[in-house]
Structure 1
Amino acid sequence: MERGGVKLFRLDIKWLEEMEVVEVIKTTWHNTIFIGSLDFQLHKKLFNIKHKLIVWKKDNNFNVQSKIDEVLYEIEALDQHVQSIGVLTEELMGERNSKLKSLHNLRRVEELYWKQISRTKWLKESNMNTKFFHSIASTRRRKNDISGLTIPGIDADDSVKMEGAIIDHFKKAFSIKVKFTPKLEKVPFKVLTVDMSSNLECNISMEELEGVVFALLSDKALDPDGFPHSFFHRFWNLIKSELLEMVRALTTRGEIFKWVNATYIALILKKSVIAELSNIWLINLLTSLYKIMEKVLIEVSLTFLISNIQSAFILE
């Protein structure tokens, strides 16, 4: 089957090393003004930032490897010039050190990119582990590739029928009715006291929100909107006030803008090599804003609402 579909936006964290990109993000955030709910406004801000960055990438043809090659060529040319004149002046030394610093920064950006792609948690960047991260990323890509798929009664070369069969399979998976519902009348759930109710009705504080946002791992897989958690860490001072108002509005309004509440369905392979659809799991991917709101509500309400017998809700 041929690969298809729209290519989703993904914020490459190495872009954030460019001051021009940082200014584009800050300017777009401040200049994007819409009338509507706060989650709608923040969605539009992220949406406009996304499109500004797409334009920036297209105009600048951003490629770290080509920049590294360019700086290496300049250093080599400078060294040849020093050899030809036989003198390493203070001016030439300063120029060479400047280029070496640029090379180091570019190597770091390259390493950050491959660390993000590899999803490696136990090994940190800044130790020039680019080759290792690249190797892990390549292994992940090969492991996640579906090289072949067999569906009974469907010709594997007929992409239209294969696509239809796959869609039908997962439609059935989502439409299966629950045959058994447990009875919970005698389960001793927690009962909220007056003080508990008052605490739950208090406004979310900035400290609570900050704790939740920075507890999100910066190098986790990107959310469907294309923004990694490190984006919210990096621009926390820029977005924190509006983010707090959005979360507070959710607790009083009880509604979420549909595109913030949108989810993507991803396929997870049960085996390293699959041959049939039953070897695939489905998971939902949440947007960044939805995930933050969800985590905040869980954090402030978990101790009040979850009883000891509900073992499915155990803090990690």
Structure 2
Amino acid sequence: MSLFPTASVMTEKARGSDHTPLVISLDGQLLSSNRRRRKIFRFEAMWTRNASCREVISRTWDRTWTGAAGERLQCKLRNVCEELDTWEKTNFGSVNKQIKEYETALQDLDGNGLSTASLSRRAEFREKLDELLAREEVMWKQRGKAEWLHEGDLNTTFFHARANARQCKNAISCLRNLDGSWSNSADEVQKIITDYFQVLFNSSKPSNEDIEAAIEGLPVRVSTEMNEQLLLPFTADEVKSALFQMYPYKSPGTDASKAIANRLKPFLTSVISETQSAFLPGRLITYNVLVAYEINHYLAHKYWGSTGHAVLKLDLSKAYDRVE
């Protein structure tokens, strides 16, 4: 995988044999169909090593905009993205390309006779190359999502392997249709995803009587006082606390989930069962795998006693992927 990070494998229909042929593409072109995706703006952490980056952000952010507070914030963010994109193309440039240029220049200097002028130029090129290599290290660290690594760690193949693995994992090369066939064109893949989530999040429009009947018998976990506190408008301090808890180079979604989680945290002990393993400090969701194995082992080897046991299997897609 490290030699061919974009490799892909696809099965073909078996004809006249019980063996399904496998088609391997080392360059990833088999399933991608030369799809072109619109480039999404992403802030590069290595830009902060250039002093003019802060100047561009400060100058653009200080511009005056009219409209509501939300509209002004949106205009500021969009304008900063556009200015940084232009600045990156005109002033910052490609790090990999510049590294190759300075490495070639240093090789040319080393191949010629050394003089006072060439030594001075070599020191200048060496200093610029070191800075470019430091930027490259920050770039690969950001792509590798290895927050536990620090700048200054060796820029080895580990960074590249993590980044390439994430790229391969996140890429959707093809999807299976309802009839079992595979689709690899961009339009078909987009339609399959849209149709799937439209069905998943579509409501059956249950009546209030149906809802009351479904929740009848469930214990009340959230009291009236707790509900009143949870429904209060968010304060500026709560929003600031959620923002400052973000990892510096991460950009969470617009659903304000962190602020909601912070507000819900004091009531978690009343809402979450003691047997739940996820979303609690000191507990891991992987513990459930061990617990389930031990329970099945116990039931399979229970040969005595008059009390019977049963295992209830839940549809996790209904428990986690739907709101109804």
TM-score (norm 2): 0.58
Match of 1:65 among 88, 96, 106: 96
1:215 and 2:245 correspond = yes
> What per-residue deviation string (whole Å, max 9, x for no partner) do you get for residues 105-144 of structure 1?
2111111111111112332231222421111111222233
Contact 1:17 1:109 in 2 (8 A): yes
Contact 1:154 1:162 in 2 (8 A): no
- Separation (CA, whole Å) in 2 of partners of 1:186 and 1:152: 39
Q: CA deviation at 1:175?
A: 0.5
Match of 1:182 among 184, 194, 215: 215
1:22 and 2:54 correspond = yes
> What per-residue deviation string (whole Å, max 9, x for no partner) do you get for residues 158-181 of structure 1?
845564444222210110447864
- Separation (CA, whole Å) in 2 of partners of 1:212 and 1:16: 23
Match of 1:310 among 258, 271, 274: 271
Structure 2, unaligned runs of 5 or more = 1-31, 273-277, 283-324
SS at match of 2:83: helix
Closer, same or farther: CA 191–56 of 1 in aligned 2, 3 Å: same
- Separation (CA, whole Å) in 1 of partners of 2:188 and 2:126: 56
CA-based RMSD of the aligned residues comes to 3.7
Q: CA deviation at 1:314?
A: 4.1
> What per-residue deviation string (whole Å, max 9, x for no partner) do you get for residues 24-70 of structure 1?
11111112x22223232111101001111222234357100111122
**Greater RCO, 1 or 2 (C-alpha within 8 Å, sep 6+):** 1
Match of 1:36 among 58, 61, 67: 67
Q: CA deviation at 1:98?
A: 3.7
Contact 2:176 2:183 in 1 (8 A): no
Closer, same or farther: CA 11–201 of 1 in aligned 2, 3 Å: closer
Question: Which structure has greater helix proportion?
Answer: 1
Closer, same or farther: CA 164–73 of 1 in aligned 2, 3 Å: closer
- Separation (CA, whole Å) in 1 of partners of 2:111 and 2:37: 50
Name the structure 1 match of 2:126.
Answer: 100
- Separation (CA, whole Å) in 2 of partners of 1:183 and 1:189: 15
Match of 2:44 among 5, 9, 12: 12
Match of 2:196 among 169, 183, 194: 169
1:136 and 2:162 correspond = yes
> What per-residue deviation string (whole Å, max 9, x for no partner) do you get for residues 253-287 of structure 1?
xxxxxxxxxxxxxxxxxxxxxxxxxxxxxxxxx14
Closer, same or farther: CA 39–183 of 1 in aligned 2, 3 Å: farther
1:74 and 2:37 correspond = no
1:295 and 2:258 correspond = yes
Contact 1:15 1:21 in 2 (8 A): yes
SS at match of 1:133: helix
Which amino acid counterpart does residue 67 of structure 2 have in structure 1?
A: G
Identity %: 26
Report matched runs for 1:277-288 at 5 Å.
286-287=253-254
Q: Which moved more, 1:106-115 or 1:72-81?
A: 72-81
Q: CA deviation at 1:103?
A: 1.7
Contact 2:46 2:139 in 1 (8 A): yes
Closer, same or farther: CA 29–192 of 1 in aligned 2, 3 Å: same
Closer, same or farther: CA 128–94 of 1 in aligned 2, 3 Å: farther
Contact 2:65 2:72 in 1 (8 A): yes
Q: CA deviation at 1:202?
A: 9.8
- Separation (CA, whole Å) in 2 of partners of 1:136 and 1:113: 12
Closer, same or farther: CA 188–22 of 1 in aligned 2, 3 Å: closer
Which amino acid counterpart does residue 216 of structure 1 have in structure 2?
A: M
Q: CA deviation at 1:97?
A: 3.6
Contact 2:175 2:183 in 1 (8 A): no
Closer, same or farther: CA 163–75 of 1 in aligned 2, 3 Å: closer
1:149 and 2:175 correspond = yes
Q: CA deviation at 1:182?
A: 2.3
- Separation (CA, whole Å) in 2 of partners of 1:315 and 1:124: 25
> Rg: which structure is higher?
2
- Separation (CA, whole Å) in 1 of partners of 2:169 and 2:184: 25
Which amino acid counterpart does residue 69 of structure 2 have in structure 1?
A: L
Q: CA deviation at 1:309?
A: 1.9
